[in-house]
Chains A and B, each alone.
Chain A
Amino acid sequence: MIYKLRHYFGLHRQNAIDAFDDIIQKPLASMLTIAVIGIALALPAALNLLVQNGRSVADSFDGIRDFSVYLKPSASLADADKLAESLRLRSSIETVKIISADEALKDFQEGSGFSEALSALGTNPLPHTLVVRPTEAADAGKLTTLADELSAKTNVDQVRIDTDWVKRLNAILDLLRRSVTIAGVLLIAAVIIIVGNTIRLDIQSRRDEIEVLKLLGASDGFVRRPFLYVGVWYGLVGGLFGIVLLVISALILAEPIERLTGLYQASFALQGLNFTSIGAILLGGFLSGWVGAWSAVSRHIASIQPS
């Protein structure tokens, strides 16, 4: 029994080795196929990398829920103080900071390089501002009600929730994440078609050989096996190439993501480049190579008969 099993695995090992030799025998054509497979597998993985890192960028800003309350130019600093005091009494608000018009002007002059133009203006065009930080417990719905209530007050000109752009980033990331799924499905389909077509051409070019094998008593299964192994090799080697491409994309993404987050950890950008995604690429290559080869052999080998 064990001897039989060993014999069986020996035959399969030989098939696998022969199939690999087959690929090496025609390096140019094989390399093109492998490159296309690698690119097709790396693309969704690279997109995924982008999305995952984008998420951590968004997460790192999640703590910022501040909103700015711009008062009308007619409101005085005392009005601002009064409003701030009343806001501080609320349970949903943690802190309120007043930025007076003068402070705002100073900040602006230092930060913008428009100091000359602003001095020429003579008067300060900037209003007093309150920076309101809600408590952790305040959810998005509460914040919106609060913002609406504040903008209705007589002294308030405008309320801007600073988390707006984080929300938008999250929406974009959500869109991207769905795109990853769609791209993944489409590109896997592409790999199946590419492998299927390569194997089909391979079968056609070895038609005579297949006829001889069948004359000598080979079953369809026997004839199929080497082609299935070729398909699996294409998928696996294409997957390895895809991983190389992915590592390169991660290195390219690393620097801008570090700048975005302000976190100087090389590993940060490599989120999404873990064993799971490497395993997924290899598994994707293996399966799509096998399915592609199977689709070719199941359609083309039975029809080849000696005459």
Chain B
Amino acid sequence: MIRFDHMTKRYEGGRDALRNISFEVPKGELVFLTGPSGAGKSTLLKLLACIERPTRGQVFVNDRNIGRLPNRQIPRYRQQVGLVFQDNKLLQDRSAFDNVALPLIIAGMHQREVGRRVRAALDQVGLLKKEKSPPRTLSLGEQQRVGIARAVVSRPGLLVADEPTGNLDPELSLDIMRLFKRFNDIGVTMVIATHDLNLLNQLGGKRLVLKDGEIDEHTLPEFKR
């Protein structure tokens, strides 16, 4: 599903954020990306979302070289990847329903189908009753669940989350992680960056540890190509 091939990312005017990274994630896997601050976790996820491009080497998703994707094709690619953010990035002037509907409207889905899918997604995160609420009237945990509903509503094969529980207390965090696990159980490949090691011990999944722009050798065997 995901393959990094001798990939190096250097930001303009900085040192290497990621250095000579090679690993592979099979379809349906749940991967937790950990490591100290500044290790390059967010950078790796941005490469997967086509927000950044590799400086050297290649990144493949579903055998597509997304590092070389023409600008024109990026929107279509992003429609196939679910993104979850630490600050949820919901649009505050729209209801929960309208936020979740966005990816479907962007993809040009028919109105009737949109309503059905959005309600199904809100139901899966337990927020069907709050569909009319604007995000700011929801708790942080609820907002994050709306964000997750938005990420899965178009049924992407890959879901990428950058510290999705970073703003939540431990109990809520566990809730959210269990939610991710449920989507993983139905076959969605997931890469989740997190600091929260306690949480990881309670969940399954594989762990990829980054240190200073490189993959920790001890974790690498699991992602051997």
Contacts and interface: CB of A to CB of B under 8 A. Distances in A.
Interface stretch (A84-92, A214-222, A292-300): A214-222
A217 B107 contact: yes
B49 A217 contact: no
B51 A217 contact: no
Nearest to B106: A218
B75 A219 contact: yes
B106 A215 contact: no
A-B pairs with the 10 shortest C-beta distances? A217-B79, A217-B78, A219-B75, A218-B106, A216-B103, A217-B75, A212-B89, A217-B106, A306-B51, A216-B102
Nearest to B72: A219
Interface in A186-222: 209, 212-219, 222
A213 B103 CA distance: 8
A178 interface: no
A307 interface: yes
Interface centre among A7, A10, A215, A222 (most CB of B within 10 A): A215
Interface in A102-155: none
Nearest to A220: B75
Interface residues of A, number: 16
18 contacts: A7-B110, A7-B111, A212-B91, A213-B102, A215-B78, A216-B78, A216-B79, A216-B103, A216-B106, A216-B150, A217-B75, A217-B77, A217-B80, A217-B103, A219-B75, A222-B75, A305-B51, A306-B51
A11 interface: yes
A305 B49 CA distance: 12
A11 B51 CA distance: 28
A10 B91 CA distance: 23
A7 B111 CA distance: 8
B223 to A, nearest CB: 26
A212 B75 CA distance: 12
Contact of A307 (B51, B78, B91): B51
Nearest to B49: A215
B218 interface: no
B104 to A, nearest CB: 10
B13 interface: no
Interface string A219-257: 100100000000000000000000000000000000000
B102 A215 contact: no
Contacts of A219: 75
A11 B106 CA distance: 10
Nearest to A25: B93
Contacts of A216: 78-79, 83, 102-103, 106, 150
B108 interface: yes
Contacts of A306: 51
Interface in B87-102: 89, 91, 102
Interface of B: 49, 51, 75-80, 83, 89, 91, 102-103, 105-108, 110-111, 150
Contact of B108 (A11, A209, A305, A307): A11
B106 A213 contact: yes
A218 B89 contact: no
A213 B107 CA distance: 11
A218 B83 contact: no
Interface string A272-290: 0000000000000000000
A111 to B, nearest CB: 75
Contacts of B91: 209, 212
A214 B107 CA distance: 12
Contacts of A212: 89, 91
A216 B153 CA distance: 11
Contacts of A10: 111
A215 B77 CA distance: 10
Contacts of B106: 213, 216-218, 222
Nearest to B82: A216
A214 B102 CA distance: 11
Interface centre among A212, A305, A307 (most CB of B within 10 A): A212
B117 to A, nearest CB: 14
A218 B75 CA distance: 6
A222 B75 CA distance: 10
A143 to B, nearest CB: 71
A227 to B, nearest CB: 16
Contacts of B75: 214, 217-219, 222
Nearest to A7: B110
A213 B105 CA distance: 11
B214 to A, nearest CB: 23
